[in-house]
Structure 1
Amino acid sequence: MADEKFNAEALAKPTSDDGSELPPPPSNYVYKLDLRLIPLLGCTYTLLFLDRTNIANARIEGLEKGLNMPSNGYNTCLWIFFIPFVLVEIPTNMIMGLPRVKPNLFLGGSMLVLGVISMCQGLTHTYGGLLACRFLMGILEATLPAGAALLLSEYYTRKEQPLRFAMFFTFGVLGPLVSGLLAYGIRRMNGVQGKEGWRWIFIIEGLATIAISFLVFLYVPNFPEKTNILSGADKEHLLEKLRRDKGDQKLSMKSVNWLAVLSDWKIWLPTMMFFCCDMTAASIVSFTPTILTELGWKAERAQVMSIPIWVTGFVFELGAGYLSSRTGWRFPFILFGITLATIGWIIQIVYSESKGLAPGVRYFSLFAMSAGTFLQMAMTMSWMTNNLRGRASVAVGTAMILGLGNCANFVASNVFIKGEAPFYPTGFRTGLGITVAGAAFCVMHVALLWWHNQKLSRKRAEVGGEDDQREYRYQY
């Protein structure tokens, strides 16, 4: 039975095949990696959520009227962004994993062009121009979060990953938080240089993206085996630690069985779980400002009142990541997050059916939804990468979970019908159903992992010990 338990101590002190422990590192380089990797890579995820939320903030400030958009124009702007985002996510991540591709140039170049196009949203004078910008942004943003997650997963052991991914995804929560603050301040620029306030939201946030891209060019490192940010001794220790924790990673993608990788249930089930939790995130991000104003708060106050919602997600995400790293468990935290999100959806449905406006209670439900959904995102990503071996699998997995998983935005942008505001019964019922489906996928995933570990334990017992590690124990 001891073999069935997660061995946190073994992960903290990886051992070689002969049982010898890895000697202590020459220096505490993990914190150096944290400072070098997480803030800049996290900014790539912030941009994704910033671009989701700034259009919602711009809507409050008069975007639809300013461009004479049709009645369904706003929803179209939301889903047209995610068509290219989903289609090019996997190919771009496979390209980034190639030996000759440098992550800083790949990610920095994408971010630079993205910033320019983001600014163009505030300069266009037609609805068609806005749609074109949104489509091009989807192509460029597809390279950013998945590529950043791939690079991040390469530098940390399975024990270290939950907290680091929580920190990474926390930058996603900062997107709507920063967007709300900026929108609150930028709305006062209405009329500056003859431009409406909603235009300045896009222009200033585009300029910020361009500025960050230069930092990515300068400071994002290469993959661990080629990194130059660590001393020789530290680099050697890092590579050995990663080898003992994850096995020998395939650096060449030429010999990979892509069919096996693309059909791996250890990728597909977490992707479906991510899809289900992202339904909640997409709904919050896209419609919270509108819901707050329709509950009676004016635009200026609605921008500010959205900020505590994202702060709550921030706190729960980091707290769960820390506890997961300490305990070694993943799925209990995911189920807890699903429970919180479910409570939020149920509250919305109750008041949708009762037709009774209760701003305080509905406002509380958004906190439960934020805490539950962002907790799940970080934990699901960490859980998936913990159970994959090889750069090819991780590249495809991180791309699928952020690409196909984000398809929930297609659903969210179409089930919140403008004519049903402010109760949105169709949207809330759909959100609840998809969230509950996420719980089913989580239980199924745990069952398959447990079944594999049981089978592997019996196999190892028959041969009298460990096998050659081509098969390995999955983590729960």
Structure 2
Amino acid sequence: MAVALPHILANYNQGNAKILNNDAGDSLAQSLRLTDHQYLIALMIFFISYAIFETPSNYMLKKYRPSRWLAFLMFGWGAMTMVTAACQNYASLLVLRFLLGAFEAGLFPGIVYFLTFWYKPNERALRIALIVACATLGGAFGGTIAYGVGLINGLAGLQAWRWLFIFEGAPSCLCAVVVYFSFPDFPETVCWLSSAERELATERIKGVASLGHDKLTWPDARETLIDWRLYAHYLLFLAFSVGYASMTQFAPTIVQELGYAGLRAQLFTVPPYAIGFVVCVGVAWAADKYEKRALGAAGSFLICGIMFLVEASLPSTALAARYGVLCVALPFAFAISAPSLSWLTANLRSTGASTLAVPLNVSIAAIGQITGTFIYKASEAPAFPTGHYTNAGFMFVGALLALGLRSFYVRRNRALPLGEPKWRS
């Protein structure tokens, strides 16, 4: 969480910066004279570099050790976030967004991959949820911080959105130093455990987790690339990513269009994210405890889809009702991630498969993130029907994929000989 929270703060500020102090004409979009289309392109280019660099980054994490590689990435994205404060035009924003995506690409798949070295399959969903829950905490803190920073608009001649990038990028640079010296790498090599403890940590996960000394081989890579069931997992995560990305980038704008103008819009983004923290952890805890990852994902997809459908169907004047529905839709849009990723990693049978499948899963999901960037059209405010209906559709497709994949694993387990390891369903 110490790695993820600074990352989320650095990543979520774009949506807040877009509307921060717009009533004074000092928002990011107004200062850089961005059209709606240019702003969307700036969001999209982040996901392009994100998709390109995820798989290579996981390889580098294994090669150079998690502590070293994650520290490098943290310092990089923190620096890029702070430098964004110096942007003067659209072109410089595009370059920095691309570089930010390249540095941030390795964090999420890297952390999920890292967890496979330390924890059994039935222990991962809650740990992944704590990382995902940082996204909801980051959204809650981000709105609060943006509100406070908005009050110093014009300090030292800088618009508040510039201060926002400085304040939210600096923690990543500072935490990078701590991560470099104190982040544990692999249970078989960590220095602060005794030999007996290292042996116990390694034996505890033998046969059900990745190994730090194992290498990615071509047979492992080939088997991973041609395994069709993994692509079903990837498509499921793609469906999740549409709602996740759109809420990450446009929640402040949606809230603003519900009648909460100026700095109040920043404060009213806090409750949906605060509720999201509780929902994310609760869904993941239940998925781990009862070994029901598929049902945890499918249930979250279904609830989220229904909420987006209701949101799209309500009249644009029903502001309080639409805000209440958003406070349910956003938490479950985030809660899908932990059981989905835990389910994928639980059904990977080798270190090589984990090295490749986890980043491939997130890379392919970038298609969903790019889609989510374009579905909330400024011309459709305040109702945003295209955005809500599109999200609802992807959520329902995700629920069907989760239930279908679960059915496949159940049937496959019934056909296994006695004593064969079961697939997690």
Q: Please give the range of the TM-score, normalised by the shorter of the 2 chains.
A: over 0.9
Asked whether the 8 Å contact 1:317–1:374 carries over to 2, the reply is yes
Residue aligned with 1:299, SS: coil
Distance 2:212 2:371 in 1: 37
Matched, 1:80 2:45: yes
Matched, 1:40 2:5: no
Matched, 1:358 2:303: no
2:168 to 192, 200, 205: 205
**Deviation at 1:176?**
1.3
Counterpart of 2:414? 454
**Aligned positions of 1:255-266 closer than 5 A:** 256-266=219-229
Counterpart of 1:196? 159
Counterpart of 1:217? 180
**Deviation at 1:248?**
7.5
What is the identity, as a one-letter code, of the residue corresponding to 1:40? A
2:17 to 47, 50, 58: 58
**Deviation at 1:314?**
0.6
Distance 2:424 2:87 in 1: 49
Q: In the superposition, relative to structure 1, how do residues 219 and 118 fare at CA in structure 2: closer, same or farther (>3 Å)?
A: same
What is the identity, as a one-letter code, of the residue corresponding to 1:385? T
Unpaired segments ≥5 residues, structure 1: 1-38, 461-465
1:324 to 276, 282, 287: 287
**Deviation at 1:453?**
0.8
Counterpart of 1:336? 299
**Deviation at 1:249?**
8.2
**Deviation at 1:51?**
4.1
Asked whether the 8 Å contact 1:280–1:369 carries over to 2, the reply is no
Distance 1:325 1:443 in 2: 17
Counterpart of 2:90? 127
Counterpart of 2:272? 309
Residue aligned with 2:309, SS: helix
**Aligned positions of 1:405-416 closer than 5 A:** 405-416=365-376
Matched, 1:187 2:150: yes
Could you tell which deviates more after superposition, 369-378 or 256-265? Answer: 256-265
Length, aligned pairs only: 419
2:350 to 367, 371, 390: 390
Distance 2:80 2:98 in 1: 10
**Deviation at 1:299?**
2.0
2:117 to 149, 154, 162: 154
Distance 1:42 1:117 in 2: 16
Matched, 1:228 2:177: no
Larger radius of gyration: 1
**Deviation at 1:160?**
1.4
Asked whether the 8 Å contact 1:250–1:392 carries over to 2, the reply is no
Asked whether the 8 Å contact 1:186–1:201 carries over to 2, the reply is yes
**Deviation at 1:246?**
4.4
Asked whether the 8 Å contact 2:241–2:369 carries over to 1, the reply is yes
Q: In the superposition, relative to structure 1, how do residues 244 and 70 fare at CA in structure 2: closer, same or farther (>3 Å)?
A: closer
Identity within the alignment, %: 26
1:322-378: CA deviations, max 9, x gaps?
A: 222221221121122112201221122102xx4x31111111121221221222101
RMSD (Å) for aligned C-alpha atoms: 1.8
1:267-309: CA deviations, max 9, x gaps?
A: 3222221221221122222112112222211221111111110
Counterpart of 1:285? 248
1:222-247: CA deviations, max 9, x gaps?
A: 12222223221111111111115449
Could you tell which deviates more after superposition, 377-386 or 68-77? Answer: 68-77
Residue aligned with 1:104, SS: helix
Q: In the superposition, relative to structure 1, how do residues 191 and 249 fare at CA in structure 2: closer, same or farther (>3 Å)?
A: closer
TM-score between both structures, scaled by the size of structure 2: 0.94
Counterpart of 2:140? 177
Distance 1:340 1:255 in 2: 41
Distance 2:173 2:11 in 1: 18
Q: In the superposition, relative to structure 1, how do residues 73 and 293 fare at CA in structure 2: closer, same or farther (>3 Å)?
A: same
Distance 1:361 1:377 in 2: 26
Matched, 1:370 2:330: yes
Counterpart of 1:35? none
Residue aligned with 2:36, SS: coil
**Deviation at 1:124?**
1.5
